[in-house]
Chain A
């Protein structure tokens, strides 16, 4: 039976509907004669409140509103990877074919290609016991990713029939399953899932593996964990988007879901272009083969911005269920929060801080809660790592979105305007950032990179901390009058900052650095520090050692030692020893 009402009022993306009391919360609806897509977000005594995912200009009071009779959902099937979708999973390339370079309204497009044939290998046999999540078939979605066709979560029973392996579209049935009550279900390549409900898993597992990113300041100082959460807050121009792009390109996740939430159109174009041509260093395939993009740019309808975050995380959960490690980037979660605020304002809800609704914090919590390292229903292990950019107004971290986000994430990569101004990139402030994952991933580093890794990390942080303290004095009296052991700390800190923490995303080899090389770079810096201390102990001015150019050589290691010729570090070890040895020897001669 059709459920429909008529438009009672229109206020931006918020439409009130009268004439039916049958609408259900969060159901998808079609609004007006053009059938714009919307979602029920409130039900009052007299009206049902709908948020519309398309521009409402031109709607009239009295036009029909029809319920889709299901929650706002996405389609899960092969065809997601390599694509770019709007906030409610409509493919932007198909939209382009229908409406040209500018996005029209009221388009009727399939969420995923229903005509494309996929080469499917059917794995299930008649008589198999299956339940939600069981893999019954697979198809290579891209050269890199095997897409597992799983039994939808609510179905369990016995496989009655199976189709032979072969070419199928996503709507074709490849198996039928009969449950205990004798009801049969068709299993297709596609299933649907409501975006606001987390997909189930068997159990959570403690995080223990780092998400390697190839970015030194992250991997070494503030490691991320597979299944963990991180926020990247920063004022405009500090490098949030660059950081997110770098992680999307180089992190060792199997799948990347990149949500451009209320940001620039050109940035999405750039990702699309770059990722298509860039080669994944691990697989040798195009980076787009493991990536899907969700784009609700800042000029696209604001209600769909609110949904884009949920669309993205639902896609991520689907690949997690297949046993993949998924990383999801949301740039920027602040725009999502602002979308919430705008809708809330139009509903005349009572605002909490800065006009944001009181439920901002619970929504943020619920979103980050969808990250995690889990045992899937089908027994495989998978994870979702969420990395959310935060765009605080005025660059002020005390605002509500940053503060609330901080409560729910365990890694905080604080971007610093002053560092960005001086073009220290990535502008991640080493004093205010943190990662709570250090103790969890410690063993991984010690077992897989070097047993000294975390000790080195501690020493590096200590030098930076000492530098910060010394800088307080230097500001007042200058560095020239400091004793030599303190001058040495400043010099080593400079090497760490410019040679190690600074990393040029545009440099062919520096853009991504294997963790082994990161370790060796630390090893060189600390070796130089230790040897230089012996120089200072002999009361030799540190300036003499600086004059040999060895500090600058260590700074330049990031450019002079290729990522795949790590044996060159032996030479450097020797160079450091020689430089220090020579300075000491020269002074001995003079003294004698």
Chain B
């Protein structure tokens, strides 16, 4: 089936139209060779009797209507997998770029994967201690969860992701069955380097697989980078029972790439020019996190996205939040106060936390402490806005205590050093220490029994 098709009918953005194609299949990968011998890859995204629309992953620069030869491969986009893949570095389309040669693939898998059957899922319940108080105490990460970091330009999301990756303690996971997959989409070389050197410094490079589509790499390729990464993750987690932590950054660049391709197809946009299917497209990646009720492996995802203009209602964070199991929101204001990690706890949420904390998981007071810290801190915001009007001195006694509590929470619980690894007991004890700044009557979210035990009248 080695038929070659000469020339193109039209070119627009990263799309080309090939005429007269026979026997092509929808979403099949094609190879496009230029007359000077360069090879590119593309995917058929629309197919009709007399033409095919192909999205060229490497872009259409220097292509003309006459200087190409197109060949069908007969296959969808696939990635070769094997256990030997650990420690390797690939480009955004899954080709090795570390100079270590080809992968001897165990098998080739369609990067699009298939939807996990809800009846085959195992509901995630096991908590991952990250050593970061704001996360462990208030937005607990659960094994198999997808928990993104909503950040902004210049905020330390990379450091936080790295700290989590380094300190994460997954029960039952040791060096043999734990691995990190790092997936870069449109980030700068510096960012990729930061991760690489940090992995190296921590001595885990051999447990890391990297997929790099950097900011100067082709936009079209960016669409497949996370899919390659997640396919490898599924293979390791569900065929080799490994615990996989997938760090994906920056989802914003990914979504923008999708928008670019959509607009070159003249599709009707929904909000801010993003295609109407952005939600389903993001879901097709985020939903690949999880666990199965057979086997013991897991895929935990930490996608990182920069919120354009720090706006959480922007379609990218918005649609992400609708799919992921919570979000860790970073706040510029806190960072400017010198607080690291600048986790804004009120909009942050871990939806799976409720089933993975408390008696038998972390500590029995955990749900109450977390609830009460949230409620009290939200009151702090009100007191602060009142204080800004009438002045701090005019506040009542209780309100003054709230201000003190708020400051302490930010400086002592949320803030910690970049290499400080607190265990959950330390975090919760710290929580109590802060709550005791407030009069006991104020702690109305607590079960009285817990209160009596930890904060006797």
Contact = CB atoms under 8 A, between A and B. Distances in A.
Q: Is B truly associated with A?
A: yes
Interface of A: 8-12, 16, 18, 55-62, 84, 92-93, 95-96, 99-104, 235-237, 260, 262, 264-266, 268-270, 272-273, 295, 297-300, 302, 335, 338, 341-342, 345, 351, 354-355, 391, 393-396, 421-423, 474-480, 498, 506, 549, 552, 555-556, 559-560
B37 interface: no
Contacts of B444: 498, 552, 555-556
B390 A265 contact: no
A451 B396 CA distance: 42
A423 B323 CA distance: 20
A540 to B, nearest CB: 19
Contacts of B389: 475-478
Contacts of A93: 119
A297 B116 CA distance: 9
Nearest to A549: B441
A41 B119 CA distance: 30
A103 B117 contact: yes
Given A273-B123, A299-B116, A345-B268, A8 B48 contact: yes
B121 A298 contact: no
Interface stretch (B201-209, B275-283, B417-425): B275-283
Contacts of A560: 448
A260 to B, nearest CB: 8
Given A93-B119, A236-B321, A423-B371, A298 B279 contact: yes
B368 to A, nearest CB: 11
11 contacts: A10-B47, A60-B47, A102-B114, A235-B321, A237-B326, A265-B290, A302-B277, A302-B280, A395-B313, A475-B385, A506-B367
Given A236-B322, A341-B276, A59 B26 contact: yes
Interface in B36-62: 46-49
Given A103-B114, A341-B276, 19 more contacts: A10-B26, A55-B114, A57-B110, A58-B27, A61-B48, A84-B119, A237-B321, A237-B349, A264-B287, A265-B115, A266-B124, A266-B352, A270-B123, A393-B271, A422-B346, A422-B378, A476-B389, A478-B395, A498-B444
Contacts of A235: 313, 318, 321
Nearest to B234: A102
B79 to A, nearest CB: 15
Contacts of A351: 268
B116 A9 contact: no
B325 A266 contact: yes
B373 to A, nearest CB: 9
A101 B47 contact: no
A265 B396 contact: no
A9 B48 contact: yes
Contacts of B117: 92, 95-96, 99-103
A265 B115 CA distance: 9
Interface residues of B, number: 78
A393 B315 CA distance: 7
B119 A423 contact: no
Name the residue among A102, A264, A479 with the largest chain B CB count within 10 angstroms.
Answer: A264
B287 A297 contact: yes
A502 to B, nearest CB: 9
A393 B269 CA distance: 14
Contact of A264 (B270, B323, B445): B323
A18 to B, nearest CB: 8
Given A236-B318, A478-B390, A300 B385 contact: no
A558 B129 CA distance: 33
Smallest CB-CB A-B distances: 6 pairs: A422-B378, A298-B283, A9-B48, A394-B313, A101-B120, A236-B321
B124 A102 contact: no
Contacts of B190: none
B298 to A, nearest CB: 12
B268 A96 contact: no
Nearest to B76: A57
